[in-house]
Chain A
Amino acid sequence: MSFEAVIGLEVHAQLLTRSKLFCGCATAFGASPNVHTCEVCLGMPGALPVLNREAVTLAVRAALALDCTVHERSQWARKNYFYPDLPKGYQISQFDRPLATHGHLDLEVEGSARTIDILRIHMEEDAGKNVHDDVLAGSRSYVDFNRGGVPLIEIVGAPQIRSGAEAAAYMRELRRTLRFLDVCDGNLEEGSLRCDANVSIRKVGATTLGTRTELKNINSFRFVAAAIDFEIHRQIAVVEAGDAVVQETRLWDAQAKVTRAMRSKEEAHDYRYFPDPDLPDLVLTAAAIHSARATLPELPAAKKERFVDALGLTAYDAALLTEEPELCRFFEAAVAGHKNAKGIANWILNELLREARGQPLAALKLTPESLAELVRLIDDGTISGKIAKDLFAELVTAGGAPAALVKERGLAQLVDTAGIEATVDAVLAANAGSVAAYRAGKTNILGFLVGQVMKASGGKANPKIVNEVLRRRLG
């Protein structure tokens, strides 16, 4: 019997705002517990929420980039449940009138194009974090509310994904899109991007859905495919053994590489959603939505196409350059300074990534402008590739303006033939044996002699001229 999997992903993305969704507290990650809190995000008596419009701007941008219909009127709702990390006893979210619906995400899975529909995008506030550290807490638990009230969007994808690989591709494409939009930093480990997966299986050809499980705690990109594929195979094994899949929430255990059922009691929730009476409807004018659409930045897929069509890059290089917004921005800024896109792409993909050794590009001293200048100096013959490579290493660690450094240190190529002739003569005189060997027919020794001349010139001699002079002298 053969089965197919039906997978729908619910992705929570933390919006890159400076302050929380309903108060002025900072959203910064990594502060001491409960530093970024106030009466509002602690749910103190009498405190009331005030919407952060910056969060709405980012949510709308994400929704439009995913080709959603953004609604002119959406509604805040309270999701009621008791949990120590939920200060008010309810989460402010959106329920039956979400911000946006009916979008889609286009992706490429193993070379072929796929489109996954986005059912809805809604905004909500994050909860705090329970701390059960035994060393810190003894037998007690503590709660850190720094994250409580941080703005999130939940992006609910249609159950159209069929495999772990597709799910991973969907997550990667979504992450790339949100990062290029400056909407979310996409960090799964820190929880700024979170993925829950609804997984079910059915016989191939069946049109009804099987019983689904909800998979949580997939907190690394490496686990998306592994967790889902494990769950698919687990469900197939359950059905083949003649049992029924139980509807439940399961957690991915990254150590054991298995999914485990959560206690079912914890999920028997009736959230009693109702419109939040403390907040008016979220109203966006058609004009505001239109102008947000008009000012959407270029998305990575479009950039990739343009890099190939207009800048002449290979599809492979274009894909690499549109993976990370930081790298892409560096590339585009450098190309703005010097039009040799292929040359700049080569320097970035070969030299820069190696020199960066995983550090963020912003931490390097090399700016896109100085890379552009360096490539221009090569292209107009001012410096040799060898000099350029030496200079590049220095620019990465110490910075500086390439043209000025070349001038200051006299690194420009020697193109004056008389000077090169004198150096060649001196090298030939010092290497009589090699000269003799060449003349006896061992012409491949020419390379060695070129190297000697370059060395004697401190790498500055133009290699083309050196070759010509040597051949003439030896000829």
Chain B
Amino acid sequence: MTALCDLSLTALSRALARGEHESSAATEACLARAADTKGLGAYLLIDAEGARRQAAAADLRCRAGQRLGPLDGVPLALKDIFLTAGLKTTCGSRILEDFVAPYDATVVRRLKDAGAVVLGKLSMDEFAMGSSNEHCAFGPAKNPWDPTRVPGGSSGGSAVAVASGSAFAALGTDTGGSIRQPAALCGVVGLKPTYGRVSRYGVIAFASSLDQVGPITKDVSDCALLLETIAGHDPKDSTSAPVLAASATEGLEAGVKGLKLGVPKEYFVAGIDPEVRTAVERAIATYAGLGADIVEVSLPHTEYAIATYYLIATAEASSNLARYDGVRFGLRRDPGRGVRDMYLQTRARGFGPEVKRRIVLGTYVLSAGYYEAYYDRAQKVRTLIRRDFAAAFAKADLLVTPTSPTPAFRLGARLADPLQMYLADIFTVGCNLAGIPGLSLPCGFANDGMPIGLQLLGPAWSEATLTRAGRAYEREHDWSRRRPPLARP
């Protein structure tokens, strides 16, 4: 028999609406599962008391016939990058270890207004810098399919919680693949919306021109549902677009007949794991069988994407992380020898090695004498990459690619080699550089049982097409319904 917490969000929502289940029971099931899977390290903080209170309130509303909507009473969890008023928000860093957020992020407010139950805060690479969740200052999260492997990152805890059933869905953030890559490695669904689709207000910034908030869910229907709640213009975020994009839930089941799917030839070259390649090619064949037209497209500047991404992202990060100086909030180490020493000690103790590496890199990129060669040039290449995608979308409605070049790798395997780690983002960063949406969904398993992810990319504001195409594929397979063996103590 399926445990309550193994239902999909959509199924739970229907059951709550029909009075078949109560939010309190669903919340207890998640809390119990979180306790059972504690060893996976998904949660940095569990707010059991707050969650029970919110669930009880949701049950009261439901019994009174005043259910707020499909998310009312649904237990969710948040990557610890979202500010949650009154709850610690660490961003996976020592420098914010005791930081209690003074206000709610806009997306958190939207979830609360929709009646969602917030279970707690999820593990992540420090300041979202990483592709394995190993750069979390409070220890790594582990892949529920094999706890000796990484869950991906930086939204690793979010993917682990959803895959292992300790939350019905989670919010993550994606700067270069941080939603899609862990979703792929943990066998769940992750969406990075169009830049500007979801408010960044109250989301701790890594690289402002690339960061975007999105759902990590058990299936594509859940993803569409959650997107509808969090998306929309926010006057507090000047980069949030006042665009009325098409609904992702309407027309979800309409299929892909006649849809043109582009296969970028540069994404199927050396370095890609053969099992990943085979799984993705099979998925493409499935689409062809469903009536989609498959066309080859080219993204000629793909080879520069990683370099471009790391120049821009680190430059912005070096500036975004300057506010962690020990003056107003967070960690302060003050040896009493003046403000310069306070800065040095606070930041030396507060930031981990990967964050320091990126601050140094970003500072260098923006420095006098190097700005033109690095930052300025990276911006020009970014424009070329954007044009590549625009040209591809003139030929195809969506692009189909692998999400990650390999399935989940072993914990520690890439820690010593940052460059190798950065290559985990090779298929995902282009989407952030171009500001377009990308969806990752399960498309099979490797022989060793590790999940493989399929990535769909679309032009700006095409989330409805992405989820429709994702849903069409999902109906053909049971990949999304498979659950990992639980790592019980």
Chain A positions near chain B (C-beta within 8 angstroms): 39, 42-51, 78, 80, 82, 84, 87-90, 141, 143, 270, 272-274, 277-280
Contacts and interface: CB of A to CB of B under 8 A. Distances in A.
Given A42-B328, A141-B339, A277 B201 contact: no
A305 to B, nearest CB: 44
Nearest to B330: A45
B115 to A, nearest CB: 23
B322 A46 contact: no
A272 B103 contact: no
Nearest to A279: B238
Given A39-B102, A272-B363, A80 B319 contact: yes
Nearest to B202: A46
Given A42-B328, A50-B235, A88-B322, A274 B99 contact: no
Contacts of B228: none
Most chain A CB within 10 A, of B202, B209, B316, B328, is at B328
Given A80-B366, A277-B239, 7 more contacts: A45-B323, A46-B200, A87-B327, A270-B367, A272-B318, A274-B316, A279-B238
A89 B238 contact: no
Interface string B277-316: 0000000000000000000000000000000000000011
13 contacts: A44-B103, A45-B204, A46-B202, A46-B203, A46-B204, A88-B323, A89-B321, A89-B323, A270-B368, A274-B315, A274-B319, A277-B316, A279-B239
Contacts of B257: none
Contacts of B371: 272, 274
Nearest to B339: A84
A277 B432 CA distance: 14
Majority SS of interface residues in chain A?
Answer: loop
A82 B202 contact: no
Given A80-B322, A82-B322, A39 B103 contact: yes
A82 B375 CA distance: 21
Interface in B117-140: none
B349 interface: no
B239 A280 contact: yes
A143 B319 contact: no
Given A44-B329, A46-B204, A82-B343, A87 B323 contact: yes
B159 to A, nearest CB: 22
B369 to A, nearest CB: 9
Given A272-B366, A274-B319, A45 B83 contact: yes
Contacts of B325: 82, 84, 89
Nearest to A34: B328
Interface residues of B, number: 43
Contacts of A143: 327-328
B202 A47 contact: yes
B105 interface: yes
B137 to A, nearest CB: 15
Most chain B CB within 10 A, of A45, A277, A280, is at A45
B89 interface: yes
B394 to A, nearest CB: 26
Interface string B343-376: 1000000000000000000010011100100010
B209 A277 contact: yes
Given A80-B319, A270-B367, A46 B329 contact: no
B319 A89 contact: yes
A48 B211 CA distance: 13
A50 B205 CA distance: 16
B322 A45 contact: no
B96 interface: yes
A91 to B, nearest CB: 11
A48 B200 contact: yes
B60 to A, nearest CB: 31
Contacts of A82: 322, 325, 343
A60 to B, nearest CB: 19
Contacts of B205: 45-46, 278
Contacts of B327: 84, 87, 143
Given A80-B322, A272-B363, A274-B366, A46 B105 contact: yes
Contact of B328 (A43, A50, A270, A279): A43
A47 to B, nearest CB: 7
Contacts of B375: 274
Contacts of A78: 319
A48 B236 contact: yes
Contacts of B321: 89
Most chain A CB within 10 A, of B202, B319, B366, is at B319
Contacts of B208: 277-278
B323 A43 contact: yes
Contacts of B239: 48, 277-280
B340 to A, nearest CB: 8
B237 interface: yes
B210 to A, nearest CB: 8
B319 A272 contact: yes
B71 interface: no
Nearest to A272: B366
Contacts of A278: 205, 208, 238-239
B91 interface: yes
Most chain A CB within 10 A, of B238, B327, B363, B368, is at B327
Contacts of A141: 339
A274 B374 CA distance: 12
A42 B315 CA distance: 22
A90 B99 CA distance: 21
A89 B322 contact: yes
A339 B83 CA distance: 64
Nearest to A278: B208
Contact of A45 (B96, B315, B319): B96
B238 A45 contact: no
B434 to A, nearest CB: 15
Nearest to B235: A50
Contact of B201 (A48, A88, A274): A48
Nearest to A276: B208
B167 to A, nearest CB: 21
Contacts of A84: 325, 327, 339
Given A46-B83, A82-B343, A277-B209, A90 B201 contact: no
Given A80-B366, A272-B366, A274-B375, A90 B322 contact: yes
Nearest to B338: A141
A304 to B, nearest CB: 42
Given A80-B366, A270-B368, A277-B208, A44 B316 contact: no
Interface string B228-257: 000000011111000000000000000000
A49 B327 CA distance: 20
A313 B12 CA distance: 84
Most chain B CB within 10 A, of A42, A84, A89, A270, is at A89
Contact of B99 (A43, A45, A80, A279): A45
A89 B205 CA distance: 14
B381 to A, nearest CB: 16
Q: Which 7 interchain pairs have the tightest Cβ spacing?
A: A89-B322, A277-B209, A277-B208, A272-B366, A46-B202, A43-B323, A45-B204
Nearest to A22: B238
B238 A280 contact: yes
